[in-house]
Amino acid sequence: MPTVRRFPANPYCSIWMAVFFMGFSIAPPAATEPTVMRWTVGGAEREALVYIPESAKQTATPIVFVFHGHGGNMNNILRGKGIEKLWPEAIIISPQGLNTPGQLTDTRGELPGWQKAPGDMNDRDLLFFDAMLKTLHQEYKIDDKRIYATGHSNGGGFTYVLMEARTEVLAAAAPCAAAAIRALPRIKPKPMMHIIGEKDPLVKPEWQEATINGMLKINSCSKEGQLYANDATLYPSSTGNPVIVYKHKGGHTFPPEAVAVVIQFFKNTVKP
């Protein structure tokens, strides 16, 4: 059974707090700043930076999982995007990946990332996802119709892994700068948004376009799109599983403007 510890996110006090509270479980302070939560999953120490609204004990609360890219970290993807400010009523959780061989870079696995498919690396990250969700359910009131995932690059790829392996959990997903062509035959219909950079030098736009086209078919979307937001086109679905394509002129990035549209999309999407 995973164990959980919580620590302030302040890096200057993390060392002494880890020593002082070792073996103890402490409640997070009132939610004004993200805090660090830690688990032991499959013998590995895992952690996530978590923003929890003060209302989460009393009110059914949405959850947004945010996954960093290969070589990234939980602090940059959460603090750099200000997601908790865009949806302060939701739990925002940014997990930290472990060193992982990359598919396009870092083939020796010296930098942190996420498993690339169900079954890869003994499903260590899917089990971590399950452990995080279990803890949040145990300690807070969770709205099971409003659980979401987004991520950049390798984190976007892991978001597609969740769409394949944990589709029953998610209300919607929003991968960014990622491709999942091989997984398409195993992905079921799900409301989703894909963020793509026209000049992405790493995850080629044609790979991403093929993934998007596959999801449009899976979700039974119309061929004609309609304006959803700046740079974002909504493709309605006859099965209630729309696809939003956010196409920007940049490269391998997660634009702040796109993050705001992702949260808008999540707020408007509730699992039946």
- All structural domains of the chain with their residue ranges: 51-267
Q: Worst-scoring range by mean pLDDT, 4-18, 30-44, 51-65, 164-178?
A: 4-18
pLDDT of residue 106: 74
Tell me the average pLDDT across 240-247. 98
Helix (H) / strand (E) element for 79: namely helix 74-79
Residue of 108, 122, 200 whose CA lies nearest to 156: 200
Residue type at 141 in one-letter notation: K
pLDDT of residue 189: 98
Average pLDDT, the chain: 89
Residue of 75, 66, 96 whose CA lies nearest to 175: 66
Tell me the average pLDDT across 85-102. 94
Tell me the average pLDDT across 163-180. 98
DSSP labels, 111-170? SEE--SSTTGGGGHHHHHHHHHHHHHHHHS-EEEEEEEEEEETHHHHHHHHHHHHSTTT-
Whether the pLDDT of residue 263 is over 60: the answer is: yes
Angstrom distances, CA of residue 254 to CA of 72, 174, 193, 232: 12, 11, 13, 14
Distance spanning both ends of the chain, measured CA to CA: 31
More confident residue, 16 or 182: 182
Tell me the average pLDDT across 245-267. 96
pLDDT of residue 32: 63
pLDDT confidence tier of residue 102, bands split at 50, 70 and 90: confident
pLDDT of residue 13: 36
Check if CATH label 3.40.50.1820 holds for domain 51-267.
Answer: yes
More confident residue, 138 or 1: 138
pLDDT of residue 109: 76
pLDDT of residue 30: 41
Helix (H) / strand (E) element for 214: namely helix 205-218
pLDDT confidence tier of residue 5, bands split at 50, 70 and 90: low
pLDDT of residue 140: 97
pTM of the model: 0.87
pLDDT of residue 16: 29
Whether the pLDDT of residue 91 is over 90: the answer is: yes
Tell me the average pLDDT across 108-135. 95
pLDDT of residue 82: 84
Tell me the average pLDDT across 142-159. 98
Q: Worst-scoring range by mean pLDDT, 109-113, 214-218, 223-227?
A: 109-113
Distance of CA 229 to the CA centre of its chain: 21
Whether the pLDDT of residue 264 is over 80: the answer is: yes
Whether the pLDDT of residue 25 is over 50: the answer is: no
